[in-house]
Amino acid sequence: MRPGKLCGLAVVLALAATACGGSGGGAEGTDQGASGRGGSGYPVQIADCKGARTTFRSAPHKIVTSNAAALEILLRLGAGDRVIGTGFPPGKGALPGALDAQARKVPVLGKHIIPKEKLLGSGADLYIDSFASMNTMGGAGDAPTAEEFRAAGIGHIYLASTACAPMAEKPQRDLSGVEGDIRRLGAVTGTSRRAGELVAGMRAKLAAVHKAVGEVPQDKRPTYFYFDYDAGTKQPVAVCRKQVANAVIGQAGARNVFDDCDADFKPVSWEDVVAKNPDWIQLAVHNRGDAAANAKAYDEAADFLKSFPATKGLTAVRRGHFLRIGAERTTIAGVGNADTVEEIAHTLHPARFKAAR
């Protein structure tokens, strides 16, 4: 993986070290486990997408997350006991095992976007934003200003792989940006050792995939369309080359049919999708909090493509080449991105994995 893909957009500085993804580049704040509150790894600086820096002289005690992405990373880091609230909470069963039970205990400050007044009055000392492009609160006048965050004593940082992606100069081809997010949150919360373990686990899975499919030439790789069913069926929304999903698809040995789109997301037309004629289609739905409801949504997405005049003749639709993989595991940063790479690769290239055994 190439280091530094998002350096200059979101950088962790712990003393003289940097953490911009890539091998061996992590800022090593002192790891004091789930209850780490400071240590020799501080001060730590985090730069936002435009370069403005926030300095942490000790680990934050009260954290609010804008959505389930940052919440899950913090839970996996062992810093979940410090999360006092979240927006866009994960659906029931969206997280594996004990993580799901822990997530259920986190107060929900907003089922969707957290209201400005509730966020500023939450008592948080850190707010982690997953999508700067959402203008934080969903309206030009509703997002707290930098001055309001400072007045409330709230540090404000971003997940770079998603928030900074739209303004990045380069596309996302690997998961170094996601690795950087995990390492940065590890440095801020004093759980760098655990962050390193999470990144190592992701890399082990990706290495196995690369061994099996890495030598497949680009022009021989199957084409792939990420169908965001919940974005609506009147006009599809493509994941483009700057989105995390583009890296997930490429790492799995496939070709995102909208890799030529220089953005993170972009509304397209069904005529555009038909012209691409993908070999495989991911039926991406957001977790409904219930297995039966999720299954129903996947069925509805497949039925739409099979019955819609513009799409029923597509190669993937005629062959039933559908993957039922949740939107969250594909488009937002997290350890689960590596799991999605595995699932896509094993589905598209089963013979190569059998040969590698």
For every residue of 213-224, DSSP letters joined together read HTTS-GGGSPEE
> Domain spanning 216-356: which CATH class is it, in words?
alpha beta
Tokens matching residue 50? 């435009």
- Sign of the Cα torsion 197, 201, 204, 209 reads negative
CATH of 12-201, one of 3.40.50.1370, 3.40.50.10540, 3.20.20.370, 3.40.50.1980: 3.40.50.1980
Using CA atoms, how far residue 345 sits from 118, 168, 171, 209, in Å, is: 42, 27, 21, 7
Q: Which amino acid is at 105?
A: K
pLDDT attached to residue 40: 62
pLDDT in tens, the chain (357 residues): 333 333 333 333 322 222 333 333 322 333 333 333 445 689 999 988 888 889 999 999 999 999 999 999 999 999 999 999 999 998 888 888 899 999 999 999 999 899 999 999 999 999 999 987 444 334 434 789 989 999 999 999 999 999 999 888 899 999 999 999 999 999 999 999 999 999 999 999 999 999 999 999 999 999 999 999 999 999 999 999 999 999 999 999 999 999 999 999 999 999 999 999 999 999 999 998 888 999 999 999 999 999 999 999 999 999 999 999 999 999 999 999 999 999 999 999 999 998 766
> Taking the domains of the chain in order of start, what are their residue ranges?
12-201, 216-356
Given this chain, do its domains 12-201 and 216-356 carry the same CATH topology?
yes
Residues contacting residue 136 through CB under 8 Å, at least 6 positions apart: 66, 113, 129, 142, 143, 144
